[in-house]
Structure 1
Amino acid sequence: MSTSPTPATTTRTDRFLAGIERVGNKLPEPFALFLILFGVIAVASTAMAWAGVSVQIPGSDEVIEIQGLFTAAGLTWLTANLGVNYVGFPPLVTVLPILLAVGVAEKSGLLGAGIRAAFGSAPRWALPYAVGFVGVCGNVMSDTAFIVIPPLAAMVFRAAGRHPVAGLLGGFAAAGAGYSTNVLVTSIDALFAGITSSVVGILPNPGAPVNPVSNWYFNIVAAIILACLAGFLIDKVLEPRVTRQGVPVEMTLEEDADGEPADTALTAELTPQERRALVGTGVAALITVVALAVAFTVPGSPWRNEDGGFLPESPLLDSIVFIVFTLFIVPGVVYGMVSRSIRRFEDVPAMFGQALKDMLPFLVVAFILGQFIAVFEWSGVGSWIAVTGATALEQIGLTGYGAILGFLVVASLLNLFIISGSSLWTLMAAVFVPMFALIGYEPAFTQAAFRVGDSATQIITPLNPYMVVLLTFLRRYEPEAGLGSVMARLLPFTVCFWLVWAAILTVFFFLDLPIGPGNGIFLQG
């Protein structure tokens, strides 16, 4: 029997979605949003400077006088530092090198072949869990995961005699709801770490340095558990539901100009050349890992700190960007040479250029993000908000885990409207990282908590541009499907991912477990 929603239910769903869409459509694009916020801080800082507002950071004797941007000192600061504010924006330093290497791994075909190999080697019963793991860890390809993983998952599900729509929607759900975590260190880690590092300068005790591996332990645990959860939901909830609803298992394809069915060029089957390339890549990756491990760990290694160790600070931790760059660029180049997607040296810098081209929207937005962060810190408004907020939390007694849960809820709600993780974290980090540091939490822990809210809810908002791409794929099987159909089927992933991810964070919190090399939860000293 079909379990399709009744007209009344459909009407309520449509009204709810329409309400979210109306509110979301009123938000400007990220560049315009942060330009507006820059203007707000400029005006507010000037008014506060004229009023003689000042703030004293707890634990410091220094009194910070609020400086106004629309003053002689403010205008000269801006004109003298416009370029520095942009080029010195910390995420650029970490993201761009890693992006170049990931770009070679992607453009050479390594990442796509690796994903297809993972799908193709999974037995029928394990397919949902393979899709869950590949989806959760798919952010190594950045947003490309939303386009590549769902249709490939649908193909391997169909080939195994399972419902392809379950693979399609499950792949998207895993890639989106688990977007901020991974067992690997990715460009997202570098991006978040750069933003976090850019807002801790006002603190007398900024805690351990934040780098791309600062959330690694937390990420590994979360990625494994969420991947298993995604597989369970695909297998036990999503696939039975689409089967009961009678969703077709065959695609209804449009015809191309020659009268042949128009199908995607993606295929789940690897060619012999791709298999040889993957084997060569595996050997190259192993040699690279061994070489790096020997160089870093031998006695007297220059990458050790003065005490001969690696924590809390060392040249090794300062070299994380280089390590990640190497672990992507070497396999990417080797795969390209064996598969013949790289035929000459010039192909590698060409792939660098393609990767940067894909990153152009972020590079444009980064200009205003850098200005916003800089004026927020220079003016002292960020310090004032952090101290005022921390004081208010202490006065009402909300300095324990309740404050963290409230932060998760706020991040989850904002993520419905601001899909860009970098934009949302820039906005929230400027306020919450200093605020939570003043009540005793490491900046790296606040960043880890943000990951929960940043990902779980983005697969149920119509403001996610990849929802439209997913709907296009879905309509090949179910021509009458709408956004309501997609959101209703993905809602269990959002709810379960949020609850389980929050539970993982809770365990780390109450057991005071390290969330990354050299990074804990509570500030020391």
Structure 2
Amino acid sequence: MSTQTDTAKNTRFTKFLNGIEKFGNKLPDPFMLFVALAVIVIIVSWIISLFDVSFIQPGENEEVAVKSLISVEGFQYMLTSMIDNFIGFAPLGIVLTMMLGIGLANKVGLLETFIKNTILQAPKKLITYAVFFTGILGNLAADAAYIIVPPLAAMVFYNVGRHPLAGLAAGFAGVGSGFTANIIVSNTDAVLSGISAEVMDTVNTNVTVTPVDNWFFMIASVILLTVTGVFITEKIVEPRLGSYQGDMDRTFEPTTPLEKRALRNAIIAAVTYIGLLLLVLFLPNSPLRNENGEMIPSPFLDGIVPIIMLFFMTIAVAFGVTTGKIENSRSIGTLMGEAIKDMSGFIVLVFAAAQFISYFEWTNIGAWLAVSGASFLESVGITGIIIVIAFVLLTALLNLLISSGAAQWTIEAPIFLRMFYFLDYHPAFIQAAYRIADSSTNIISPMNPHFVIVLTFMKEYDRKAGIGTLMALMLPYSLLFLAVWILLLLAFVLLGIPFGPGINVYL
């Protein structure tokens, strides 16, 4: 790797990571790799279909077959869905929408000035903690956090003399593997508990799951993951990377008086924007809250991406007008166009990735593997907490194939919540076990659509870096996060700590 020096400790784990990177980077260019994966799915779906494989769809009690793409129906699907797969690829719209605002802020120099006058002024020992804490809490902004945190973390690390890819990895790990954790109840809690509650309704029991049932466990998770993430970054990732030797030059120049004045105006614009948003949010019968006047779920959370985009546009215009970077309305469109132009490589990559992911979902291979794995686990006859740990490990593996946490829980919940309910486990406890597994392997799953986003950011600092480089960077976070999270789960169980208000392990 072009950014690695010979000073990294030659441990067995380092050799293992180097081997992963070397092998991964020998794979084809990411675009062609996703094309190859799509072809593999086509062939494998045909082979499986020859054996008439089918399964019962959990929660729907209907038989579903693994479908072949080498068929009349499959050929028609591939041909007619290609455009929809591309433009309907959720991260594409999120990324491009966010880049209209963030890109404008970057082009006028706002992000650079903000970092110079805030983050870079903080004690350097706290920077890694700040990155992880911000990344984990970033799930409040949903998928938008993937576009905001990792690249900014890379810029911060670079400008304090640390390896930018270590910052990128830390930001990605915080957002991705820490996606389910938070110190306040988030939309993730509402979505997963809604699925759990619906399943428990079918069991004819008064036991249900609410959005706050994992709250205490998730607060502890934020603290644990932050400390663990800092350790991994500073003791494993950065020593392996060594000093940065790439050709990227993002050194910040000293802040000028004009930039300081522009930053002040941007802060005033930010406070005004947030103030107006809060005013609308807490108005009686606010259009940003749901019919019951609640925040979870609500139009506010559903519309968080455009809200953030408009926020960045507002402060960027305030900054740019002050510095003279925005001379007229035409300048705004031009600068946003330049920001989108920088994402051209990502757009091309998404086209191939979207086809692969769509083909995999259409064939039902992922759902079949999930149901088969669950059936096997149910049949082994293991009892006690060991069966829960086995469930966590199985879910972590299945997460490599099913990128959506809600979709995977929709498949697993009808099987495992019923199974564990009859073993006297509280469904909210099983949901917590699911969440740690689902989050831990997010950052190493090729099915995760945000994987290609971070890969695009990474290439800005190391053009030779490939999928192997990113996998080797993220694997320590994924493995150790899963390990310490399991230990935290066991600690809650053994010490009798409630997972949420009134929620214990057993019913």
- Cα offset, 1:129, TM superposition: 0.8
Deviates more, 1:41-50 or 1:14-23: 14-23
Conserved 8 A contact 1:226-1:497: yes
Decide whether aligned partners of structure 1 residues 372 and 444 sit closer, same or farther in structure 2, where only a CA change above 3 A counts: farther
Is 1:341 equivalent to 2:353 in the alignment?
no
**Gap change, CA 1:282 and 1:217, over 3 Å in 2:** farther
SS at match of 1:63: strand
Given the alignment of the two structures, is residue 404 of structure 1 paired with residue 387 of structure 2, yes or no?
Answer: no
1:465 deviation in Å?
Answer: 9.2
Q: Does 1:303 align with 2:283?
A: no
1:129 aligns to 2:122 (yes or no): no
CA contact (8 A) 1:342 1:348 kept: yes
Q: Encode CA deviations 1:110-152: one digit per residue, 9 max, x unaligned.
A: 2221111124543xxx331145425764866465446522332
- Find out whether 1:150 has 2:138 as its counterpart: no
Alpha carbons of 1:49 and 1:12: their partners in 2 closer, same or farther (altered >3 Å)? closer
Q: Aligned equivalents of 2:92 and 2:459: distance in 1?
A: 28
Q: Please, which runs of 5 or more residues in structure 1 have no aligned partner?
A: 155-167, 208-214, 242-246, 254-261, 412-423, 458-462, 473-486, 515-519
SS of structure 2 residue aligned to 1:303: coil
Task: Write the letter of the residue equivalent to 1:333.
Answer: V
CA offsets per residue over residues 140-171 of structure 1, 9 Å max, x none? 646544652233213xxxxxxxxxxxxx25x7
- For residues 315-348 of structure 1, give each alpha carbon's deviation from its aligned partner in whole angstroms, at most 9, with x where no partner exists: 2232122222222221122122222222222222
Deviation at 1:224, TM superposition (A): 6.8
Q: Is the 8 A contact 1:180 1:451 kept in 2?
A: no
Counterparts of 1:18 and 1:96, CA distance in 2: 33
- Measured after TM superposition, the shift of residue 295 of structure 1 is 1.3
Where does residue 92 of structure 2 map in the other structure? 92
Q: 1:234: how far off?
A: 9.2
Displacement of 1:284 in angstroms is: 0.9
Q: 1:377 aligns with which of 349, 361, 365?
A: 361
The amino acid that maps onto 1:298 is L
1:437 Cα deviation after fit: 3.9
- Structure 1 residues 464, 323: CA separation in 2 closer, same or farther (over 3 Å shift)? closer
Within 5 Å, give how 1:367-446 maps onto structure 2: 367-396=351-380, 397=382, 400-405=388-393, 436-438=412-414, 439-440=416-417
| Structure-1 separation of matches of 2:254 and 2:389 | 48
**Cα distance per residue 1:414-467 (max 9 Å; x no partner):** xxxxxxxxxx7876879955554453499999677555445699xxxxx99959
- Residue number in structure 2 paired with 1:179: 172
Map residues 155-304 of structure 1 onto 2, 5 A cutoff.
Answer: 168-169=162-163, 173-181=166-174, 266-267=251-252, 269-304=254-289
State how far apart, in whole Å, the 2-side matches of 1:410 and 1:63 are.
21
**Alignment partners' CA distance in 1, 2:26 and 2:46:** 28
Equivalent in the alignment of 1:359: 343
* Residue identity (%): 28
Instruction: Give distance in 2, aligned partners of 1:277 and 1:54.
Output: 62
Does the C-alpha gap of structure 1 residues 393 and 121 become closer, same or farther in structure 2, counting only changes over 3 Å? same
Alpha carbons of structure 1 residues 446 and 49: separation in structure 2 relative to 1, 3 Å = same
Once residues 273 and 63 of structure 2 are traced to their aligned partners in structure 1, the CA distance between those partners, rounded to angstroms, is: 50
- Does residue 54 (structure 1) correspond to residue 54 (structure 2)? The answer is yes
> Could you tell me whether the CA contact under 8 Å between 2:288 and 2:298 is conserved in 1?
yes
Shift of 1:293: 1.4
For 1:464 and 1:20, locate their aligned partners in 2 and report how far apart those are by CA, in whole Å: 19
Q: Would you say the 8 A contact 1:305–1:314 is kept in 2?
A: yes
Measured against aligned partners, the alpha-carbon deviations of 1:442-494 in whole angstroms (never above 9, x if no partner) come to: 9999677555445699xxxxx9995995899xxxxxxxxxxxxxx99x99999
Q: Report the Cα distance in structure 2 between the residues aligned to 1:31 and 1:13, rounded to whole angstroms.
A: 29
- Closer/same/farther in 2, CA of residues 268 and 137 from structure 1, 3 Å limit: farther
| Partners of 1:58 and 1:234 in 2: CA distance | 40
1:88-114 superposed Cα distances (whole Å, 9 cap, x missing partner): 222223332122211112222222211
CA distance in 2, matches of 1:381, 1:493: 28
Asked which structure has the greater RCO (Cα within 8 Å, sep 6+), the reply is: 2
How many aligned residue pairs are there? 426
Deviates more, 1:314-323 or 1:400-409: 400-409
- Match of 2:31? 31
Q: Kindly tell me: are residues 500 and 142 of structure 1, through their superposed partners in 2, closer, same or farther at Cα, counting changes over 3 Å?
A: same
Q: Which amino acid aligns with 1:99?
A: M
18-27 or 77-86, which moves further after superposition?
Answer: 18-27
Conservation of the 8 A alpha-carbon contact between 1:177 and 1:494: no
One-letter code of the match for 1:148? Answer: M
Q: Hey, what does 2:206 align to over in structure 1?
A: none
Return closer, same or farther for 1:285/1:428 CA change in 2, 3 Å cut-off.
closer
Q: How far 1:12 moved relative to its partner? A: 7.1
CA distance in 2, matches of 1:121, 1:410: 42
1:63-142 to 2 correspondences below 5 Å: 63-122=63-122, 126-130=123-127, 132-134=129-131, 137=134, 141=148
Report the AA paired with residue 153 of structure 1. V
Deviation at 1:48, TM superposition (A): 3.3
Residue 391 of structure 1: SS of its match in structure 2? helix
Paired residue secondary structure (2:160): helix
Give the drift of 1:401.
4.1
- Cα distance change on mapping 1:79 and 1:56 into 2, 3 Å: same
Q: Does 1:326 align with 2:310?
A: yes
CA–CA separation in structure 2 for the residues paired with 1:78 and 1:467: 30
Is the partner of 1:291 in helix, strand or coil? Answer: helix
Distance 1:205-1:513 versus aligned 2 partners, 3 A rule:
same
Code of the residue aligned with 1:403 in structure 2: it is F
